[in-house]
Structure 1
Amino acid sequence: MNNKSKHFGIAALQLNLAEADNLELLLERIQKIKLRFPWVRMVVLSELALRGVGVQHARELPSAEEDAFCRSARELGIWLVPGSMYEKCGSAVFNTTPVINPNGEVVGRYRKIYPFLPYEKGVTGGDQFLVFDVPEVGRFGVSICYDIWFPETTRALTWLGAEVIIHPTKTDTIDRRDELSIVRASAVTNQCYVVDVNSAGAQGVGRSIVVGPEGEVIHQASVEEEVIAFEVDLAKVKQVRERGMKGLGQTLKSFRDARVQYPQYEPGAVSPAYEELGPLKVPE
């Protein structure tokens, strides 16, 4: 087994953002990060960092704003995950995260599968997962905010080979503490890195978190603006998955080898218990 270290520098930007057009601010901060930390090869922003909440901000992609992010990635020679933005596609609006490579090319766009309904009104959920390869480093996956509350989404990404989950978030509510526990649980049960970057200021309550494949907290931010520059080691992911978390649970192997048929995934499955919950609507 070759566990030669494969380090990769990432900067997660927890920025004080207004519910306004933040494009110039974001481009400026991305440039400053690369100048200050030349070893960083990927920059990640928070969910809806570009303009905040509001489907009226939706644009068809590619857009002028996405093109600006592409130019920045190409000029700086970095991978760029610029949070997410509302994408207009026909009559539908998606919450979409582009992934841009160092050549300034969009290698994929991930549409949030679970919009935060009933509050994220007017947003349609996507139905495709996104993983992408960083050559000579490893495979990354993308998830957005509320997606992580559904364990199936993270498991699907690791099933597709993801070793690092990039997870832009926009949380300005009191359930942030609960999200932190979910992020740690997602990392340790899937034996992967999770990079969960929230906004600060008017857009969010901060407390971004980076967790490793054994559930270890690499960094947890405050509620103020922070730049979180760190390295992931993809050889460690391989080791933990092969030898087990702390030399113990080999979760992904057990999941692979089990022959259980989950009732919720049977064709046409209906849960009487779930049916009794009633419609998805804002509580009155």
Structure 2
Amino acid sequence: MAKLNPVHRIDDGVTALSYDDPYAPVLFTESLRRTGFAVIRRHPIPRELVQTIHAEWLAFFESDAKHAYAFDPTRLDGFFPATVSETAKGNDKRDLKEFFHLFPWGRYPGEVSGAARRYFEIASDFAGELLSWVEANTPAEVTDRFPMPLASMIRESPTTLLRVLRYPPLTGSEEAGAVRAAAHEDINLLTVVPASNERGLQLLTRSGRWIDVPADPGTLIVNVGDMLQEASRGYYRSTTHRVVNPSDDGARRSRLSLPLFLQPRPEVALSERHTAGSYMDERLRELGLR
């Protein structure tokens, strides 16, 4: 494992690193290990592409066209309205959001351009590199238990998912205690998401404090999911996070988000007790999506 140059100073928060930094793989992996999160600047995903997707899909969500793509309860592709949105594990109120599930094989709205498909391809390729960073900077006693390289787990996976998310403006009539995204952990290996057009993402530190995740425009946020925690036997921890309701002018604006959930092929063995497929089924039932 590579060692950090002494000039790199790391505090208790999430590390924001530059993709072109020669120490980027070490900094990235160390931040995931400490906090479950890392932020990448000057990455290969074009900022203009993300802005285009935000604009196109905001218009789509504000139209009635979305209802023509009602989600399939078995395939789980398509549009999920706020009335059937997720309820975080251990929570009794639905999140204040609506979203569209995009799989490589799934439905795609004709009302938008192919920008989201292009993002899916670029981000998936980059994600493979990030998984290779993780593996190269993880102790051998951990990686020796992986059934295959991490990047190979997601290759041609039919379950890797791009979720196009919209958190609508708040009206003041929301159910008491409901938030844009209640505290939860992600299911997958890693989640890759460009900084949203609005702030609100927070993580729970190991000391029990909620802190803001750095989300400057143009940056990329990456976090550990339950499947990496399972495959690494807890060496990497799936960190609890949430999206809080804004109290300023942001409450009157939609928040757009593009999380890419990196999911292994269903048959990949994460541990002695779970394949990726069995783990996914268990968690989807807990979320009320299956």
Same-fold status (TM-score > 0.5): no
Higher relative contact order (CA 8 A, sep 6+): 2
Report which of the two has the higher share of strand.
1
